[in-house]
């Protein structure tokens, strides 16, 4: 079926000189789709709006102790602990492959100090094959005694400004839900110069093996994702979209085209699909198809007729 007549393109960095245009609003969420390269022979990745790679740190990381993943009702708890190959390997081994793709790749960046984030983003500057950076602020800030970056409005703003000053790439800041007021943090991130905001990361949780009388995860706690968190994510996206003037990217529990459309109606310009990739390899491409079919069946020519349609 040819849907070329539908206008599904979205601009995620309208104020940035380079911009960040996606052919459709469906991206993969960080940590659930590797570096995209693993999927080349399995799905048509060129049909995706963008790929967001695994959280990248300055040095390679082994992550947390096992077990690191456990299913819960309607969701998944993970405590991967940012296992990744490190920024140098991303530049050397992954970016040359990405460079040949039409689909934009956004590098998700993590760190324990502002300086670590800066060093990673500096290394990404000028590397072909990278279209943007997503700053994951749900990391423990070791200079603030292990408190989450994303929980402190002033630190998130400082981090955003610092990163923005040293890169020519569009920057999106990914917020987590484990905060008192996500809207205030989103406004601070916008004021600090972010091009876009993505939300939400996982919700802090735990599971117990009652026979062993022990936590299921080696790390005791983990991050909850999947359909169980969708209503929380949807509400946070709605609230943030009302409060900021930069694009918002919705994430959390999206497994179908209808889920994605709900986020768009709540003001998201695009969506990220995470846990659904672990259930069905074709989750993202099925969502792209489903959005096209919904538009065709409801005589909607442009996605912009849907984006923000539920906002007051």
Catalytic residues: 139
SS3 17: coil
Residue written as tokens 């983003």?
121
- Number of residues forming the site for ligand FMN (CB under 6 A): 26
Q: For ligand FMN, which residue of 54, 94, 123, 164 counts as binding (CB under 6 A)?
A: 54
Q: Are 195 and 16 in contact (CB under 8 A)?
A: yes
Over the window 143 to 172, marking each residue x when it contacts ligand FMN by CB under 6 A and - when it does not, the resulting string is ------------------------------
Q: How many CA atoms lie within 13 A of 203 on its CB side?
A: 21
Over the window 100 to 119, marking each residue x when it contacts ligand FMN by CB under 6 A and - when it does not, the resulting string is --------x-----------
Over the window 4 to 43, marking each residue x when it contacts ligand FMN by CB under 6 A and - when it does not, the resulting string is -------------------------xxxx-----------
**Is position 79 an interface residue for ligand FMN (rule: CB under 6 A)?**
no
SS3 275: coil
Residues 199-218 that bind ligand FMN (CB under 6 A): 201-202
Q: From CA 154, how far away is CA 203, in angstroms rounded?
A: 21
Q: For ligand FMN, which residue of 182, 251, 283, 306 counts as binding (CB under 6 A)?
A: 251
Distances (CA, A) of 185 to 115, 157, 293: 21, 8, 36
Nearest distance from C-beta of residue 32 to ligand FMN, angstroms = 5
**Crossing angle, helix 153-165 and helix 114-124, to 10 degrees?**
30
Sole window of 77-85, 86-94, 117-125, 152-160 interacting with ligand FMN (rule: CB under 6 A): 77-85
Question: For the chain, give me the number of helices (H) and strands (E)?
Answer: 9, 18
Instruction: Tell me which H or E stretch contains 119.
Output: helix 114-124
SS3 45: helix
Give 95 or 229: the residue with its C-beta nearer to ligand FMN: 229
Residues binding ligand FMN (CB under 6 A): 29-32, 54-55, 76, 78, 80, 82, 108, 136, 174, 201-202, 225-226, 229, 251-254, 273-276
């Amino acid at each position: 079926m040819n849907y070329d007549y539908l206008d599904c393109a979205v601009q995620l960095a309208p104020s940035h000189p380079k911009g960040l245009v996606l052919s459709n609003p469906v991206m993969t969420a960080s940590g659930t789709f590797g570096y995209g390269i693993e999927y080349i022979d399995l799905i048509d990745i060129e049909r995706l709006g963008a790929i967001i790679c695994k959280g990248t740190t300055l040095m390679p990381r082994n992550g947390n102790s096992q077990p690191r993943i456990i299913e819960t009702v309607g969701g998944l708890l993970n405590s991967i602990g940012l296992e990744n190959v490190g920024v140098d390997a991303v530049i050397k081994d992954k970016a040359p492959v990405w460079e040949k793709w039409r689909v934009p790749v956004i590098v998700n960046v993590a760190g324990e100090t502002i300086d670590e984030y800066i060093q990673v983003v500096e290394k990404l500057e000028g590397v072909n094959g990278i279209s943007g950076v997503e700053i994951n602020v749900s990391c423990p800030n070791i200079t603030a005694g292990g408190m989450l970056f994303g929980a402190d409005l002033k630190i998130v703003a400082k981090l955003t400004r610092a990163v923005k000053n040293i890169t020519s790439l569009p920057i999106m800041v990914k917020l987590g839900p484990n905060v008192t007021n996500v809207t205030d943090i989103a406004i601070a991130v916008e004021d600090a110069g972010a091009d876009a905001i993505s939300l939400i990361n996982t919700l802090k949780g735990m599971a117990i093996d009652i026979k062993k009388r022990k936590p299921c995860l080696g790390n005791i706690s983990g991050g909850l994702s999947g359909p169980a968190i969708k209503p929380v994510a949807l509400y946070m996206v709605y609230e943030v979209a009302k409060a900021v003037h930069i694009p918002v990217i919705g994430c959390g529990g999206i497994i179908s085209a209808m889920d994605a459309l709900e986020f768009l109606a709540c003001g998201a310009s695009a969506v990220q699909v995470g846990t659904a990739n672990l259930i069905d390899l074709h989750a993202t491409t099925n969502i792209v198809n489903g959005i096209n079919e919904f538009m065709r069946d409801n005589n909607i020519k442009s996605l912009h007729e849907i984006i923000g349609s539920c906002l007051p």
